[in-house]
Amino acid sequence: MPVRVPLKSKAVLALIAGYAAACDSTVNLDYQPRYFDQLLASGMCRAPESTDYGQVDLSLQILSYTRDGTVSLLPDDAVNLSGVPRQVSDILRASDFTFSLSSDCDQSIEAAVFQACAEPSEQPGDQTGISLLAQDLRYETPGGPTRTSDDRLVVLLLDNSGSLKGQPDPLSPVDKAKASDPRDERITFLKNLVRLPYIDSDTYFSLVWFDQRQPHITPEFATPTRNRDVMVCPAGSDGATCQADKEMDGLSKLERGETGATPLADALDQTYKIVINGDKTKDLNPVVVLFTDGVESGDSSGSGKTVTEVTQSYANHTYGGEKTPVPVIVVHLQPTVASGFPRGRDQALYELACATGGEYIFIERADEFTTSDTLEPLVANRLSGAWKLRVSSTDTIGIDPGAYLLSSDLSLTLSAKTVTTPLKRNKDQAADDTRLWFVK
C-alpha cells in the first residue's frame, strides 16, 4: 500500500537521495509506485508579472487513488513508466498538459485556433475564443521551499452567521428557504476532512469562528493541537488520547448554533494577529481554510477593516526575514435566492486567495459538501501544496475589463496515460460548475 510520507520526512529522504543520485536515479523512490488517476483544477490567478491576464497560473492537483484516500502526486513521488518507477519531477513537464475546446463552448468558435472560451459571468452566452499554451510547471508548498520541514498549522476560520440556517437577524424567525446550509453539511465535510488518514502527522489544527459582531478565538479551540476533532484535551495529553465527547468537539459545537451577521474582515485580522503571528505559534507554517457564505453588507464588527485591507497582512507575512505569504483557501458557499443576499462569485474573496497563493473555491449549493467526490481530495491535498501551471494567452489582452468564466478541456499525459478534466458547467447537475473564474 502506498504510504503518504510527511513533508518533514520527505526533506530527509530528498537529502539522502541527493548523495546517491550519481549511482542510481531511483534510489529512495517508493518501490510501490502510484498510478496517475485524476486531475483537478481548483482555480486560476493572474501571474504576478502580468497586468492583463496574458499569463495566468492554473492551480492543479494530480491525484492517485490509494487505500488511505485520493492523494496528490508530489514531485518526489514515483510513478510507473513502462514498468520502471520514475520520480514525478524527472518526467513531468508543462508540455504534458494540453487544452482543447470544451463542449461548453460555442460550436462556431474555431477549434484550430482556440483551445478555450471565455464569457462575461454576468452575460452567459456571449463567448470569446481564447488560446492557451502551457509554458512552465512548478510545485508550490505553503511558506515556500525553506519551510517544507516545519510543522504545519491549519487554521479553520469558519463563518457561523445566521444566514447559514436562515436567520440573518437574531430577532426574526428561522426561514429554511433562506438558509444557505440548513443541514450543517459544511460541518460534516470539515469533520471528514481533518480526520483523513493521509494528512501529515506533523499538522496542527486551530478552530476560529465568527458570528454576531466578533470572532471567537478561544484557548479551548483556537490553541493549535494535533487533535483531529479540534476539541478540548486534558492538560498535557496528546491529541490521540482525547475522548470524542461531543460537548468538547469544536466542530460539533457550531452545529445549529449559527447567529447574527458576518464580521469577516475582523475575523481575518484577529486570526492573523493572535493565532498565526502569536508568540507561541509563529514557528508553525500556516495555512488558512476560510469558509463563508458571503458578507451581507460589510463587516459587522465595527472595526472599520475591509477584506482587501486585511489581505495585505497575509500576502506580506514574513518568517525568518523572508516573505512567506500565508495561503488562504477560500471555500465560498453561495446564498439562496430567497435570502436576498448577493449571489455569485466574490471579487474580494477571489483576490484574497490569489494574493496569498491560496485558492478560491465556489460552492453553489450546500449539498456539494456531502455529494461531491472531488471537493474533499481537492481541499485536503491543497493543505500540502499545489502544482502551478503557467499558461500564456494573447487573446485575454483584448477582452474588456470585468469578470469572466473560462471553459476548456485540460488533459495531462503521464506515464503513457491521459486523463482529461472538463472545465465547464454540467448541464445535468446545476451545482456542478468547474469553469475557471477570473476578474480582469
Query: Are residues 408 and 374 part of one domain?
Result: no
Chain length of the chain: 440
Span 201-241, pLDDT tens digits = 789 999 999 887 788 998 888 888 887 666 555 444 454 54
- For residue 67, what is its C-alpha cell? 487505500
Q: Where are the beta strands (DSSP E) in 273-313?
A: 285-292
Query: Are residues 186 and 110 part of one domain?
Result: no
Query: Are residues 228 and 121 part of one domain?
Result: no
**Last-in-domain residue among 384, 404, 422:** 384
**Last-in-domain residue among 384, 404, 425:** 384
What was the pLDDT predicted at 430? 60
Query: Are residues 204 and 230 part of one domain?
Result: yes
Residue 12 lies in a domain: no
Query: Are residues 371 and 230 part of one domain?
Result: yes
What total of structural domains would you count in the chain?
Answer: 2
Q: Which of 288, 310, 249 is nearest to 155 (CA)?
A: 288
Query: Are residues 245 and 217 part of one domain?
Result: yes
Residue reference for cell 462575461: 120
Residue 364 lies in a domain: yes
pTM of the model: 0.88
Q: Which of 164, 147, 204, 102 is nearest to 331 (CA)?
A: 164
What was the pLDDT predicted at 206? 93
Query: Are residues 88 and 128 part of one domain?
Result: yes
Residue 20 lies in a domain: no
Domain range for 245 is 150-384
What was the pLDDT predicted at 356? 97
Residue 25 lies in a domain: no
Q: Burial of 403 by CB count in 10 Å (0-12 exposed, 13-18 middle, 19+ buried)?
A: middle
Phi, psi of 398 (to 5 degrees): -85, -10
- For residue 226, what is its C-alpha cell? 494535533
Residue 15 lies in a domain: no
Query: Are residues 408 and 361 part of one domain?
Result: no
Query: Are residues 266 and 195 part of one domain?
Result: yes
**Last-in-domain residue among 347, 367, 384:** 384
Q: Which residues of the chain have pLDDT under 70?
A: 1-33, 228-248, 296-303, 427-431
Q: Burial of 357 by CB count in 10 Å (0-12 exposed, 13-18 middle, 19+ buried)?
A: buried
CATH number of domain containing 193: 3.40.50.410
- For residue 118, what is its C-alpha cell? 471565455
Residue 262 lies in a domain: yes
Span 350-402, pLDDT tens digits = 999 999 999 999 999 999 999 999 999 999 999 999 999 999 998 988 899 99
Query: Are residues 131 and 57 part of one domain?
Result: yes
CB atoms within 10 A of CB 20: 12
CA distance 324 to 58: 20
* CA distances, 75 to each of 28, 101, 335, 414 (Å): 13, 29, 38, 13
Query: Are residues 161 and 112 part of one domain?
Result: no
Residue 332 lies in a domain: yes
Residue 188 lies in a domain: yes
User: 142-160 burial, b if ≥16 CB within 10 A, otherwise e?
Assistant: bbeeebbebbbbbbbbbbb
Query: Are residues 395 and 380 part of one domain?
Result: no
Q: Which of 25, 32, 39 is nearest to 87 (CA)?
A: 25
What was the pLDDT predicted at 195? 86
